[in-house]
Structure 1
Amino acid sequence: MRFNPRPSSKNYHRRGFRLRGNTLVLLFVFFLIGLFLHYGGRTQPVVAFWNDFRQIIGLGRSKSESREDNPYKAPEPGQSERGGASSTESEASDTKGNAPSPSAGSPKIVRFDFEKQVDFMLPVSKSGNEIIRHEGYTLSYRDEYKDAEWVAYPLLDYETTGDADRKYEQFKPDPEVAIGTALPSDYTRSGYDRGHLAPAGDFKFSQRMMKETFFMSNITPQTPDFNRGIWKELEEQVRAWAIRDNGLYVITGAVLKPGLPTIGKTTEVSVPEKFYKVILYCNKPDIRMIGFLLDNKGATSSLKQFVVPVDQIEQLTGIDFFPKIPDDLERKLESKGRSEMVDEWFSN
């Protein structure tokens, strides 16, 4: 007679390694934490993850990510704008003088005596500000707002062209600001662009100087419609004038005042309601000045509609522009009305 063995009452264990359910859950949690740490600081974390996944499986980046229709797209902390390599120097000149001078073949520029004074173009402010000097520009930094109240630099015609490319750069804190600047991550998912005051496009002749424009001391919260619209248009207009006139003095800033809304995860960065530009052309005996005042929002009006007397910007900001110009001449330049300035600057 044949008997079948009785099943054992002991627990049966499969040979080999088997993860328990709670271990799988822990691994999944750690995986999610890793994804958050890696992509959490990106402006569009889901898009960034999807593009990385596409690259891993060999599909490349999505069309929406590879488009180059937004040169003001904010590079994320630790990542260049389009995955660029480390910066390389432009072969153009890396020197920047105190006053505009003509490039080769351009008509001779004759300087006024007051232009030859030290720090001629720097404004004077009543605030207890910190003056930061970089190779390409000088700025006045207001710690209570984590914004610059003005950025000043001469813009020569040849400086608007060259090999320097913003795709090699990333936003970073300014090491020259002793009290510390905002962090790039303070803008992440805030709804605001990291807007330049001294634009990268004004320093295309030198990669080193373009790199300086990505210091957070030169960056301010701007609405996307403003930064990529009318503000960009104004920057391009100023460069066109610099080429036409062989050089200009440019002062740009935010209108800072108590009670402004703020953004920021680590620091509180004030969101300006208005921005301005003051531009001066000098070629003795010719001299002219123009001011622009714009709200921090999108606009479809002509740039001419934003021209205002420089006196109005001074009253709004408490800043004295070009104080080393003789008083009588300064008053004449700064009190001109819109129509007169438009005729002087836009007619040619």
Structure 2
Amino acid sequence: MFFKPRFSTKKYARRGFRLRGNTLVLLFIFFLIGLFLHYGGKTKPVVAFWNDIREIIGIGRSQPDREETNPYKAPEPREDVATDEGTASSDESEASDTKRDRTAPKSSPKNERFDFEKQVDFLLPVSRNAGELIRHEGYTLSYRDEYKDAEWVAYPLLDYETTGDADRKYEQFQPDPAVSTGTALPSDYTRSGYDRGHLAPAGDFKYSQRMMKETFLMSNITPQAPQFNRGIWKELEELVRTWAVRDNGLYVITGPVLKPGLSTIGRSNEVSVPEKFYKVILYCNKPDIRMIGFLLENEPSTNSLKQFVVPVDQIEQLTGLDFFPKIPDDLERKLESKGRGEMVDEWFSY
């Protein structure tokens, strides 16, 4: 006995388009591929897509995707080892780069060089310590392995170098493969309470992504108290750039005051934490010449930068360095012995 339905099933047929299971899978795969292509091959396209949706509906981006509040924090490398990839120029690094002569502030009718400026390595200090001399394209430094810090970093700062489209967000801190004994690692600073502070600032090389990339080598990095690095030290760096534009170029030497017994940080290396930092700046425009020194404690401060101006002789005594030794002795002594008031009048008055 069979049950006979009251209505006929023959009159009904499946209408419309129904997707089979494998078709749904293919569409989902194509959707993911589209996300990857749309977001430039980023490793987290779904997160990026979700953040875009949040912005459209007014929720805002998710917390991990927001920018860091610390402008001095750059992404850490996946590995704390120096590789060819870490120092090679990428397409981004080469985009705004051209070869330029950086041996000295450029000569012009308004900026004439002294004969001593033309001598080889005129800019480099002489040290009574045995640091390793490291020459990079943008700057030269002397590295002290016992401190895992550079004792000085020197470079000419030309007016056009302070502007450009180079951006620090593209760079990562990397060990410096040029240092034979090895540098500190980015991880030595992790959760140490100290910033990875630049000696040669990234902002002094905005005209070239390749040059800026060099400033993230760990030979150029030193432990700095966060509010010092982001406060009075940043203010001094900005002032020096302003002067470089005003004066059509300067010579800049920067470093920590290194001495035995400093406290250290580090997981893999003992990185000395300097108590003081200095800058020595020289302006030359024959027949005019002037020099100024700054000495700052590695701590926050709200004081005027004028309060940190000191005779360059004082910095030489603390560091054991001889700045600009190729300047004739009488002129060198005159420049380096000037007091705060005279230097402030010369540098801050216009």
TM-score range, shorter chain: 0.7 to 0.9
Counterparts of 2:203 and 2:279, CA distance in 1: 16
Identity between Structure 1 and Structure 2 (%): 78
Pairing partner for 1:315 from 304, 314, 317: 317
Amino acid aligned to 1:261: S
Give the C-alpha shift of residue 76 in structure 1. 1.9
Match of 1:220? 222
Q: Secondary structure at the match of 1:122?
A: coil
For residues 209-288 of structure 1, the aligned pairs below 5 Å read: 209-288=211-290
Match of 1:55? 47
Counterparts of 2:302 and 2:65, CA distance in 1: 26
For residues 326-341 of structure 1, the aligned pairs below 5 Å read: 326-341=328-343
Match of 1:73? 73
Q: State which drifts further: 107-116 or 255-264.
A: 107-116
Higher gyration radius (CA): 2
Counterparts of 2:173 and 2:288, CA distance in 1: 39
TM-score (norm: length of structure 2): 0.78
Change (3 A) 1:241 1:63: farther
Counterparts of 1:124 and 1:91, CA distance in 2: 34
Match of 2:5? none
Give the C-alpha shift of residue 72 in structure 1. 1.1
Counterparts of 1:73 and 1:65, CA distance in 2: 15
CA contact (8 A) 2:97 2:210 kept: no
CA contact (8 A) 1:92 1:162 kept: no
Counterparts of 2:51 and 2:106, CA distance in 1: 50
Where has structure 1 moved over 6 Å in runs of 4 or more? none
**Structure 2: 5+ residue stretches without partners:** 1-43, 53-60, 80-89
CA contact (8 A) 1:96 1:135 kept: no
Give a deviation string over 1:7-46, Cα, whole Å, max 9, x none.
xxxxxxxxxxxxxxxxxxxxxxxxxxxxxxxxxxxxxxxx
Give the C-alpha shift of residue 89 in structure 1. 2.2
Amino acid aligned to 1:75: P
Counterparts of 1:170 and 1:312, CA distance in 2: 35
Q: Verify: 1:203 aligned to 2:205, yes or no.
A: yes
Give a deviation string over 1:139-198, Cα, whole Å, max 9, x none.
000000000000000000000011111111000000100100000000000000000000
CA contact (8 A) 1:280 1:287 kept: yes
Amino acid aligned to 2:337: S
Change (3 A) 1:96 1:62: farther
CA contact (8 A) 1:87 1:169 kept: no
Change (3 A) 1:280 1:90: farther
Counterparts of 1:302 and 1:155, CA distance in 2: 23
CA contact (8 A) 2:223 2:273 kept: yes
Give a deviation string over 1:64-105, Cα, whole Å, max 9, x none.
8634654212422239xxxxx973324353324211105xxx
Amino acid aligned to 1:88: S
Amino acid aligned to 2:76: E
Aligned pairs, number: 289
**Structure 1: 5+ residue stretches without partners:** 1-51, 80-84
Match of 1:302? 304
CA contact (8 A) 2:74 2:168 kept: no
Give a deviation string over 1:241-296, Cα, whole Å, max 9, x none.
00000000000000000000000000110000000000000000000000000000
CA contact (8 A) 2:149 2:271 kept: yes
Counterparts of 1:336 and 1:168, CA distance in 2: 42
> Superposition RMSD on alpha carbons, in Å?
2.1
